[in-house]
Structure 1
Amino acid sequence: MGRARRRARGFTLLELLVALAVFALAVLALLNLAGETTRTAALVEERVLAGIVAGNRAVEASVEPLPALAARAEGEERQGDRDWRWSRTLEPTDDAALVRIEILVRPAGSTHVAAQAVLLRGAR
């Protein structure tokens, strides 16, 4: 009877330490997941905004008279409260009737390409 009464009093120190360790591991996993979600959201926002800049420049390149398009052009644009640097390259293709226009967009002060747009346009 004495043994049954002693077991009914509660958890042992070892059981509490194991439960605390399991809880700590779960909290660490959730914090890691929250951090990764924040980083992913920032990356998606950057790519979407850079894609808008690239799309805008692609539309301009498709309607601007071909002689006005330089072989290479660069510029800056502000979109979504951020500064972006874009570059446009005009290249001939194997088909003399088409030219290839490539637009690269980078965050200002960075070298990595956040968005790219490529379009083909009549050479005349």
Structure 2
Amino acid sequence: MSSAARGFSLLELLVALAVFALVVVALLNLAGGSTRSALQIETRALAGILAENLAVEAQLTAAVPGTAQGDARLGDRQWRWRQTVEPAGAGLTRVRIAVFADDGQQAASAEVLR
């Protein structure tokens, strides 16, 4: 047999496996990053919906100046919110709403004048 027909050497196979392993690790890392990004987008979107809903409720009800807080359930998740009502001048009232995810970080906010 000629030397060209014998196949790959052990060293060549090890190098090929190492390159393949690096590619697989990079692809898995990329997939994990995409999953984390999708989860963050979902969290912000749901929190934004809740903040807008609370802002609409604040416009429809009489709000007393001060701070209120509570819990709400949306999208099979539990959210905490805080509403701050303060005078804004010219007879207007500013209502600020902050929505927090389960990790305690603010995920969305809304502000309305009434």
Q: Counterpart in 2 of 1:25?
A: 22
Percent of matched pairs sharing the same residue: 55
- 2:106 is paired with a residue whose SS is coil
Matched pairs, number:
114
TM-score (normalised: structure 1): 0.83
Q: In structure 2, what residue type is equivalent to 1:97? A: G
Q: State how far apart, in whole Å, the 2-side matches of 1:105 and 1:113 are.
A: 6
Q: Counterpart in 2 of 1:76?
A: 71
Runs of 4+ in 1 over 2 A off after TM superposition: 95-99
Residues 13-69 of structure 1 show CA distances to partners (whole Å, capped at 9, x for unaligned) of 12111111110000000110111111111111111111111011000011213xx43
Q: CA deviation at 1:114?
A: 0.9
- Higher strand proportion (structure 1 or 2): 2
RMSD between aligned residues: 1.6
Give the unaligned 5+ runs of structure 2. Answer: none
Q: Counterpart in 2 of 1:36?
A: 33
2:92 pairs with 83, 98, 102, which one?
Answer: 98
Q: Is the 8 A contact 1:90 1:102 kept in 2?
A: yes
Give the unaligned 5+ runs of structure 1. Answer: none
